[in-house]
Copies of this chain bind each other. A is one copy, B any other.
Amino acid sequence: MEPIGSRQAQAKGERTCALIVIGNEILSGKVRDTNAYFAVRELRAVGVALKRIVVVPDELAAIAEEVRYCASRYDVVITSGGVGPTHDDLTVEGVARAFGRRLVVNPQLEQIVCEQFGGASQAAGMKMALTPEGAILNFGGELRYPTVQVENVYMLPGIPQLFEAKLLALKDRLATDPYFMRAIYIRAPESVIAEHLTACLQRFPDLMLGSYPILGNPEYRVKVTLESKDQAYLGAAYEYLMQLLPEGSVVRTE
């Protein structure tokens, strides 16, 4: 595969990613998307910072606009869906339009399509042999079809089994420095701890600090998470916040 760019290398080892899910079936509730949550966890586990998830309809202009927007702002863009043979499969054409490239028949894909489809269905299947000009084919894993790549955009199928297999095959390529995390479970309400979180961030501005209230849990009211790619920095921020929090407010830590 092609080397991965670094358009937004902000923090230490930061690699940013956007995921574009394409499909009316998600937006109309006929299908519940599972690919985004799968991708979120797999990417996080290899240190990739997913910064944006977008679900757009099967419309050429919407796909092209979103791909263009994401490709210029994030290191890696992954699309899910819209790569099959029917009228509502518009991702490949949308990516071509985003980069101002022509759609051309790719000889390697043409051969795979001819082997897979026969007779009357070959004409429709041939749509799957088209790629934007200059596309790269990434073979790997156990799947017959390669993942088509144009610049920093990887086009994955929407069917969950295929999306997951292709993302796993891609994952090692995307891996970068891992995240470290600590969590503090707190029985006080958010309004009580808000000032301490703000103070902690003022002292450790590069910390990723999250505050997540939960309703109806008898054990705790807020889960606070601290994250960094720098383990020592994380440790210092954690100690600082712990001594700020009111006595008796911490239920447990992780």
B contact residues around A25 at 8 Å (CB): 210, 212, 225
CB atoms of A29 and B52 under 8 A apart: no
Q: Does chain B have a CB within 8 A of A88?
A: yes
B contact residues around A208 at 8 Å (CB): 24
Interface centre among A88, A127, A191, A193 (most CB of B within 10 A): A191
B contact residues around A53 at 8 Å (CB): 26-27, 53-55
Against B, the Cβ 8 Å flags (1 = close, 0 = not) of A51-71 are 111111110001000000000
Against B, the Cβ 8 Å flags (1 = close, 0 = not) of A205-216 are 000111111111
Chain B's closest residue to A17 (CB) is: B27
Report copies per complex. Answer: 2
With A124-B194, A208-B24 known as contacts, the answer to whether A161 contacts B215 (CB < 8 A) is yes
Q: How far is the CB of A52 from chain B (nearest CB, A)?
A: 6
With A25-B212, A26-B40, A225-B30 known as contacts, the answer to whether A192 contacts B52 (CB < 8 A) is no
Give the A interface residue count (CB, 8 A): 64
Q: How far is the CA of A198 from the CA of B216 in the complex (A)?
A: 51
CB atoms of B192 and A124 under 8 A apart: yes
**Among A115-123, A148-156, A233-241, the stretch in contact with B:** A115-123
B contact residues around A211 at 8 Å (CB): 84, 86-88
Chain B's closest residue to A192 (CB) is: B121
Q: How far is the CB of A15 from chain B (nearest CB, A)?
A: 14
| Chain A 176-216 interface residues, beta-carbon cutoff 8 Å to B | 179, 189-195, 197-198, 201, 208-216
With A29-B40, A29-B41, A51-B27 known as contacts, the answer to whether A191 contacts B121 (CB < 8 A) is yes
Q: How far is the CA of A74 from the CA of B112 in the complex (A)?
A: 41
**What are 16 residue pairs bridging A and B, where the CB atoms are less than 8 Å apart in the complex?**
A24-B208, A24-B210, A27-B50, A28-B179, A30-B210, A31-B212, A32-B37, A52-B56, A52-B57, A86-B197, A87-B194, A87-B198, A88-B210, A121-B192, A125-B191, A159-B215
